[in-house]
Amino acid sequence: MSIDYQSRWKRTVALMEQEGVDALFLMKPANLAYFTGDGRPCALALFTRKMECIVAVPECDLASVRRSSVATEIRAFRSEEELFHGFRDVLHTLNLMQSTIALEKNFFDAALHEVFTSHILPQARIVSASPITSQLRMFKDLSEIECLKVAGHVADEGMAAAARALRPGVRECDIAGEAEFAMRRAGAEGWSSATYVASGWRSAMAHGPASPKIIEAGEVVQVHLAPIALGYTVDLCRTFLIEPVAVETANALRAYLEAQERGIAAAVPGAALMGIDEAMAASLEQAGFGDGFLRPVFHGVGIEHEEAPIPGGHAVIHGEQKVEKVAAGMVLAIGNCGIYREHFGVRAEDTVWVTEQGPVAFTRHPKT
Amino acid sequence: MSIDYQSRWKRTVALMEQEGVDALFLMKPANLAYFTGDGRPCALALFTRKMECIVAVPECDLASVRRSSVATEIRAFRSEEELFHGFRDVLHTLNLMQSTIALEKNFFDAALHEVFTSHILPQARIVSASPITSQLRMFKDLSEIECLKVAGHVADEGMAAAARALRPGVRECDIAGEAEFAMRRAGAEGWSSATYVASGWRSAMAHGPASPKIIEAGEVVQVHLAPIALGYTVDLCRTFLIEPVAVETANALRAYLEAQERGIAAAVPGAALMGIDEAMAASLEQAGFGDGFLRPVFHGVGIEHEEAPIPGGHAVIHGEQKVEKVAAGMVLAIGNCGIYREHFGVRAEDTVWVTEQGPVAFTRHPKT
């Protein structure tokens, strides 16, 4: 399906006018991909209200960028100095030195931001780009949905391979290897997050990248996959029980899966966004697991592993705007928390498309 | 080999005194790993001149952090709000609200940095932590060298698998899958950078993550691996020629390998750090490839894929200090550039330990 960049650009200009922004300065690969079709690292773009889109890339990348980018002008640089000085020249030519420029403040590190604002944009008014970029990228168009479906299928292939390989005596990193290999076979271009395989006591960790730990009988194993395909990513997590497991563990998993279903069911257009969180929390509370539960329970997903909408206080930490309502076109990873006890944790996470007809899951590996 | 954290902490205090820093505030997993033995994400540490090291982690992580962290105190939080408010309480208790606090300005994004300095540390003097953290981590101790050797071996296993699988008709992502699977078998815990497999026209790109492109006869294939093992990572890149290739291509690769050897040979204690860059540039200039050459040619590597020492102007962009001299104990990835033509690029990169007895390579896959 072809991508309608003109329509993205027109919506961008409308938001720029609303926010009083003269130009967007983009360096985050996810935003470059969204605006130009080419999201390689070490590139930058300036997008103006007149729909000029000037991209700069390493000289050696010129030919390949021309294949995939819809930028109106493509420039080359041969060093980082040339990159930033060239950018200053562009601002000069376009008479934007004293304008309002939106920067990706949740991508620039604080050190680079300081260099940038004092040396490259000393006279400009600097604002955050995320009110514009997130407002656009939060609502997926149908070409994006096609990519996300493929990424969901890739993740399912990986989870099926992990499930086949799981048994006592195998190391976590071997399970990760089987899952990744199957996802590469299915066309994965990479990973938007580390592959987590966390067994036994490691499953109680909020973040559990695969380690050389050997999986043993009676353990819980969390497997968490985030492949990239066609430039898009999904989140998929499943918890496997290597029998014989304690009754408490099986009960916790059952309660979590039930709560996740309630969370997904709450993702309907017009509902309160934090209602997803509240639905899961209420369900776990009722099942007696309200205490070992880490929030928030969801986040947006798309070109990036974690993108708008980001819930509640988490939004501020991520330099994102608070979003009040669920809306059609959002794609959410729901179940991003878990029930944790001292020696184990259970979790399930799926990537879901919010539509007027109800939530549609892109990840479909069986839950039990 | 056991790790001597006490000695790291003592060197830290000496540097803190020198820089007038009262406390280090750490959130970067690489720094947390170096200071405490546990580098999980979503954790933070405050390290004071009195060698108090207070760590905060998600509540569910408490038990597993206790297994691996040498922090003097471990606290739990259940939300990001609790995390940051808890940190403010610690500063209060330690009477550090108006002190000089070093933050990881090249890790914090600009948005979080603003929230942090205005809400959590409004009265403190904020400076960059990298003059301290980089000065420490730039010189690897022997326990780190043991880990880097293992990571080098893992990378070599991956490159051997890639070499075995390479043939016309195979997709780039399948080669990546074979390499990653072999590295997982060898104990890889994850990847510090995307696996690059860039063939034909894609090899001319500065950054070439594996894609579904099919590899064809007559093409150049760059394979770039960066596994993590025992918490450490290396950089290994090789260029393969799928025969029959043009004479110009084979000549370019020969010239690049020769230049890389000269760069590695320049990595001796006491020499100018930029001498590595100059040695490679001079060699390529002499061979007639000075024009299609992207700099800088090296960077430090260790817990992170790119860490101190970072060369020249690149250092400023990364929020790092300029380093003048090569010194024993540095670990450098050398060859991080390539010769680029419009339709192909060649590169080779190795991870090398600088010792008084000369450079020792951790990555050893044959170059031709």
A54-112 pLDDT, tens per residue? 999 988 899 999 999 999 999 998 877 788 788 888 888 999 999 999 999 999 899 88
Closest CA to A264 of A152, A362, A129, A172: A362
Give percent above pLDDT 70 in chain B.
Answer: 99
**Mean pLDDT for the stretch of residues B155-172:** 98
Q: What is the pLDDT of residue B144?
A: 98
- Report yes or no: A239 and A260 within 8 Å, Cβ to Cβ: no
Stretch A188-201: mean pLDDT: 98
State pLDDT tens for residues B249-263. 999 999 999 999 999
DSSP B117: I
Q: Is B52 helix (H, G, I), strand (E, B) or coil?
A: coil
B187-239 pLDDT, tens digit per residue, is: 999 999 999 999 999 999 999 999 999 999 999 999 999 999 999 999 999 99
Percent of chain A with pLDDT over 90: 82
H helices of A43-171, in order, are 62-68, 80-93, 110-115, 130-137, 142-165
- Residues A293-315, mean pLDDT to the nearest whole number: 88
The verdict on a CB contact (< 8 Å) between B342 and A63 is yes
User: How many angstroms separate the CA of residue A209 from the nearest CA in chain B?
Assistant: 7
Which pLDDT tens digit goes with each residue over A204-247? 999 999 999 999 999 999 999 999 999 999 999 999 999 999 99
Q: What is the pLDDT of residue B140?
A: 98
In this complex, the residue of A185, A201, A314 whose CB is nearest that of residue B80 is A314
Query: Looking at residues A287-293, what average pLDDT do you find?
Result: 81
Look at residue B293 in the predicted model and tell me its pLDDT. Answer: 65
B 44-63 residues with CB < 8 A to A? 58-63
Which of the four pLDDT bands, split at 50, 70 and 90, describes residue A292?
Answer: low
B17 compared with B114, residue with greater pLDDT: B17
Residue range A146-165: mean pLDDT, rounded: 98
| B142 has a chain A CB within 8 A of its CB | no
Q: Is the pLDDT of residue B142 over 70?
A: yes
Percentage of chain A exceeding pLDDT 70: 99
CB-based burial, A168-193: b 16+ in 10 Å, e otherwise: eebbbbbbbbbbbbbbbbbbbbbbbb
- How far apart (Å, rounded) are the C-alpha atoms in residues A327 and A335? 18
pLDDT for the residue numbered A162: 98
Confidence of residue A311 (pLDDT cuts 50, 70, 90): confident
**Residue A116's closest chain B neighbor by CA?**
B317
Give pTM, 2 decimals. Answer: 0.96
Q: What is the mean pLDDT of residues A292-318?
A: 85
pLDDT at B292: 66
Facing residue for A210 by CB, picked from B103, B177, B189: B189
Q: ipTM for the complex? A: 0.95
* B269 vs A315 pLDDT, higher one: B269
Q: Which of residues 210-269 of A touch B (CB under 8 A)?
A: 210-212
* Mean pLDDT calculated for residue range A297-312: 94
Residue A293 confidence (pLDDT) = 65
pLDDT of A81 reads: 78
B46: pLDDT strictly greater than 80:
yes
Tokens of B182: 């072999």
Q: What structural domains does chain B harbor?
A: 5-137 (3.40.350.10), 142-361 (3.90.230.10)
**What is the reported pLDDT for B217?**
97
DSSP B349: B
pLDDT at A295 over 80: no
Which residues of chain B lie closer than 8 angstroms to A343, CB-CB? 63
